[in-house]
């Protein structure tokens, strides 16, 4: 026979604890296997509620006036460089020196070289993200296929001089080379599985160009919950400073850290 038992001033079961201040009535049912009696009880519980007290991270301001993002992501990265990867995007001759070169590309070459040097010193994994397109242009975006028509050697065609890294940038043992055919380094590549397998959660981005490959890669990284994501603002570039800064502003607004190279260097693990 089923029995209903009312509990008054009874201590509630431990699995009913909550973190809300509101009084609630819980109905708990369980089966007594000894006498096959079904027991139901009503309990009025008062739970503690604890509001999170989120601290607002201070803003780090650059002398260059770029207006940087929160300090906190950089501090997180500095605490564990072995969980960080440096992505060098499209620093190839065709995109820096060739007919479709990014106008601001040459200016950042020394800073990209320096970022790679510092990354090596810190034991950071360096991922060289490059384009090596089919010579017939069959794997490039539709709007670029005219560059490969009529026997032309299109931008970053596989095996062409234009697909090589600019002078001063060299892939070394222990680095990783990733070939992509679209703006984002994550699109239709195995980058995410590579980074996850290596225990990488923090990404630092350099290269060209800010509104295309940099931005698309950064937004995909944020969507995949990499934290922190850092864009070194003077080791990335666009056709004009205005385009560059507008995109930096957008990335900063989704939680991306945007230090200068020197500010990134100054963070010590």
Start-to-end Cα distance in the chain: 68
Question: Active-site residue among 90, 94, 220, 234?
Answer: 90
Q: Where are the beta strands (DSSP E) in the chain?
A: 3-4, 23-32, 37-46, 84-89, 125-131, 176-180, 202-208, 229-237
Q: Is 158 a catalytic residue?
A: no
Helix, strand, coil share of the chain (percent; to 5): 35, 25, 45
Question: Active-site residue among 93, 94, 213, 252?
Answer: 213
Question: Which helix (H) or strand (E) is 217 found in, with range?
Answer: helix 215-223
C-alpha to C-alpha distance for 71 and 59, rounded to whole angstroms:
6
Q: What is the CA radius of gyration of the chain?
A: 27
DSSP state letter for 54: P
3 state SS of 151: helix
Q: Can you count the helices (H) and strands (E) in the chain?
A: 7, 8
Other Cβ atoms closer than 10 A to 247:
20
Question: Active-site residue among 93, 114, 180, 252?
Answer: 180
**Sheet of strand 84-89: strand arrangement:** 176-180, 125-131, 84-89, 202-208, 229-237
Tell me the two tokens of residue 158. 């596989």
Q: Is 90 a catalytic residue?
A: yes
* Under 8 Å between Cβ of 129 and 178: yes
* Under 8 Å between Cβ of 83 and 198: no
Q: Is 266 a catalytic residue?
A: no
3 state SS of 100: coil
Tell me the two tokens of residue 199. 């225990």
Positions annotated as catalytic residues are 90, 180, 213
């Amino acid at each position: 026979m089923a029995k209903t038992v009312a509990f008054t001033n009874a201590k509630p079961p431990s699995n009913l604890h909550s973190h809300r201040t509101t009084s609630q009535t819980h109905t708990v049912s369980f089966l007594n296997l000894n006498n096959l009696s079904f027991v139901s009880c009503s309990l009025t519980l008062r739970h503690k509620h604890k509001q999170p007290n989120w601290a607002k991270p201070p803003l780090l301001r650059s002398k260059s006036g770029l207006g940087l993002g929160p300090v906190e992501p950089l501090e997180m990265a500095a605490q564990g460089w072995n969980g960080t990867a440096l992505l060098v995007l499209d620093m190839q001759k065709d995109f820096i020196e060739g007919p479709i070169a990014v106008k601001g590309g040459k200016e950042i070459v020394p800073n990209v070289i320096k970022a790679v040097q510092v990354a090596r010193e810190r034991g950071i994994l360096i991922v060289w993200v490059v384009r090596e397109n089919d010579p017939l242009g069959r794997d490039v975006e539709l709007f670029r296929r005219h560059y490969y028509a009529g026997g032309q050697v299109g931008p970053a065609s596989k095996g062409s001089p234009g697909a090589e890294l600019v002078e001063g940038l060299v892939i070394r043992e222990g680095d990783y080379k990733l070939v992509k055919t679209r703006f984002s380094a994550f699109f239709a590549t195995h980058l995410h599985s590579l980074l996850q397998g290596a225990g990488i959660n923090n990404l630092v981005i350099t290269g060209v160009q800010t509104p295309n490959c940099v931005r698309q890669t950064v937004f995909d990284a944020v969507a995949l919950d990499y934290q922190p994501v850092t864009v070194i603002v003077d080791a990335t570039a666009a056709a004009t400073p205005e385009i560059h800064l507008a995109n930096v502003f957008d990335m900063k607004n989704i939680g991306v850290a945007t230090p200068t190279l020197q500010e990134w260097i100054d963070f010590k693990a």
